[in-house]
Amino acid sequence: MCVLPHAYTAEHLADDAPESVGGLANFLTKRRLAEIGAALKALLSDEDLPVEHELGMEGEMGVAAVFHNTAEEKVHLFPVDESNSVGQALKSGGSVVIIAKTGDIFAAYGGDGTKQDEYTVNAKSGGANNFTIRTPPQMKIKS
């Protein structure tokens, strides 16, 4: 629900009706829906999007790689094939959208520097991939 100021004429009320607004979803790409989801999560969690969030019209045909960190600790995401890339920190319970290309691979590292997992983007241009980063299974110590 939201308030639409100055929507008092019959024409504007019809344009702003749930049926009209809901119809806009037919024109959204999976990538755009993922971006809207990330922005809404940031709004509802009272946490700002990072300055370099890459969301918007630039590179519209890129893939939205959405990472959800359900691990117990903060992780760092790095693109695997880019040697001088800067990683992105993702706190426990947080989510981030990275605009990528089909075939890009990302690695998640724990706070102690150990590699937790790799994630391959396989969606087509304009699409989205959702990845869940989990706490790696603990090694059982035999007694």
CATH homologous superfamily for the domain 10-133? Carboxypeptidase-like, regulatory domain (2.60.40.1120)
CA 73 to chain centre: 18
Per-residue HEC secondary structure of 74-116 comes to CEEEEECCCCCCCCEEECCCCEEEEEECCCCEEEEECCCCCEE
Nearest residue to 127 via CA among 71, 66, 53, 73: 66
pLDDT string in tens for the chain (143-residue length): 555 555 667 766 677 676 666 666 666 666 677 777 777 776 766 666 655 555 555 556 788 888 989 988 999 999 998 766 667 888 888 888 888 889 999 999 988 888 989 999 999 988 889 999 998 765 333 44
- Given this model, what pLDDT does residue 109 score? 92
Is the pTM for the entire model greater than 0.85? Answer: no
- Given this model, what pLDDT does residue 142 score? 45
Amino acid letter, residue 78? F
Domain positions in the chain: 10-133
